[in-house]
Copies of this chain bind each other. A is one copy, B any other.
Amino acid sequence: MRWIDAIRETFERYGYVNIETPSVEEVETLAAKGGDVDKEIYGLQRLNADGDEKGARLALHFDLTVPTARYVAQHFNDLTFPFKRYQIQRVWRGERPQEGRFREFLQCDVDVIDQDGISHDFDAEIPLIALQALNAVGAGPVRFMLNNRKILIGFYRGLGIENAGDVIRVVDKIDKLPVTEIERILVEDLGLAIETAKACLALAQIRSTDNGFANAARKLGVKNELFEEGLTELTTVMDRLNAADIGESVVEANLAIARGLDYYTGVVYEVQLIDYPEYSTICAGGRYADLVGAYIKRDLPGVGISIGLTRLFAKLVKEGKITAERASPTDVLIARFAENDVLELDAVANALRARGINVEVYHEAAKLKNQFRYAERKAIPYIWFTGDAHEVKDLGAGEQAEADPASWLPARLKS
């Protein structure tokens, strides 16, 4: 929970508001985005359905983008645009039984949606927020890779390619397949001339942490208005990111990044952990034009990014970069003996609690050994002994000293 709190705090520092939407939506709503996502959807059915079920079929959401689009359409008249929101919720994706019986993830999305166009400011703000959020959870340095779909589509059109979308889907596999195989698919399967295919691959190999990418791309000799527009947009974003303090993380214009989903129309993002390049993308997103348009006849473009928290946390814990939660939030265990009156122990506990200290009163009069073992197993740092003079034992330091319930503080709360 403290990781999630750190992320929430980051988003709120930038004025983003938290929303939650139901986990259950109508199947028609979830399927509105098109494509073949529906194979990943878990439908719901009452176990004792008696055959007279009527109305819409229900299913669990598989991402937070679609429910947010539905939410914006539904609350259109009550929202102030640009609508800046974050959302941290579980999502579900159906998997074939042999690959695992079910899949349930904690997803974290931050998006801005505006009416009739959206400021290019947000193309840079979203990465800045995501970088801060990843930093706040101790993810370690990341490689934040950016591209712009306009660069790709404009370049392909400038080369005379008509099916730019098909080329994007092939080039998107550049990290998974050898370059020669990508070239073969472009030529043999998509029918591109060999020089055209080589130009596409040359573009996809351009990387720069500064604005060098733009000149490198222009040197390939393709002239196209959309291509130029994309280069200019990405240059502006890179300038703003390079002006920010992002610690050891790296911001990289990477002209191979395509993001498979068709709905992106401008900047796209893909983020990896630098220390663990073998891990796949932990965070991805971009600018989209008409997601909300599927639910309301309005022009409501957006920019956003999504962090897969379950995967990220599992990896960070496994690599020892962050520790799992404590076994207990307790600061102090109040020891209890046969001669103690539980109401008096309660009074001491409440005096401490009132000052923000987490306290347990041991639940029965027991041998001191048992009470120490309980504290040790739960990693509780202090044991408190009541009496005319109260005493506290610091189990880490092994020291015991007098303490006043009205003023004593554990190390956690001293600063």
Contacts and interface: CB of A to CB of B under 8 A. Distances in A.
Interface in A335-390: 342-343, 346, 353, 357-361, 363-364, 374, 377-378, 380
A239 B38 CA distance: 58
Interface in A90-113: 90, 92, 94-98, 101-102, 104, 112
Interface stretch (A49-57, A251-259, A271-279, A392-400): A49-57
A48 B41 CA distance: 8
Interface string A38-73: 111111111110001111101110000000000000
A328 interface: yes
Contacts of A326: 17
B44 A102 contact: yes
Interface string A108-129: 0000101000010110000000
Nearest to A52: B97
Task: Please indicate which of the listed interface residues A13, A27, A346 has the most CB atoms of chain B within 10 Å of its own CB.
Answer: A13
Given A90-B23, A97-B55, A358-B14, A42 B38 contact: no
Nearest to A101: B55
Contact of A39 (B48, B60, B343, B363): B48
A91 B319 CA distance: 32
Contacts of A33: none
Contacts of A38: 47-48
B104 A23 contact: yes
B43 A46 contact: yes
Contact of A22 (B17, B102, B330): B102
B98 A343 contact: no
Nearest to A53: B97
B56 A101 contact: yes
Given A13-B359, A101-B55, A353-B13, A80 B47 contact: no
Contacts of A333: 15
Given A42-B45, A80-B377, A17 B121 contact: no
Contacts of A329: 12, 15-18
A244 B347 CA distance: 9
Given A104-B22, A122-B363, A44 B47 contact: no
A240 B102 contact: no
Interface centre among A94, A325, A377 (most CB of B within 10 A): A94
A158 interface: no
A24 interface: yes
Contact of A374 (B45, B80, B96, B346): B80
A98 B50 CA distance: 12
Given A329-B17, A358-B13, A359-B13, A121 B342 contact: yes
A413 interface: no
A342 B123 CA distance: 13
Given A27-B47, A329-B15, A342-B121, A363 B82 contact: yes
Contacts of A80: 327-328, 374, 377-378
Given A17-B325, A17-B327, 6 more contacts: A14-B353, A15-B329, A15-B359, A23-B90, A55-B101, A243-B343
13 contacts: A1-B8, A1-B18, A17-B326, A23-B104, A24-B104, A41-B47, A44-B45, A44-B94, A46-B95, A52-B97, A54-B97, A240-B343, A240-B346
Counting from the closest, the 7 A-B pairs by CB-CB distance are A15-B360, A15-B330, A46-B94, A39-B48, A12-B329, A119-B363, A80-B377
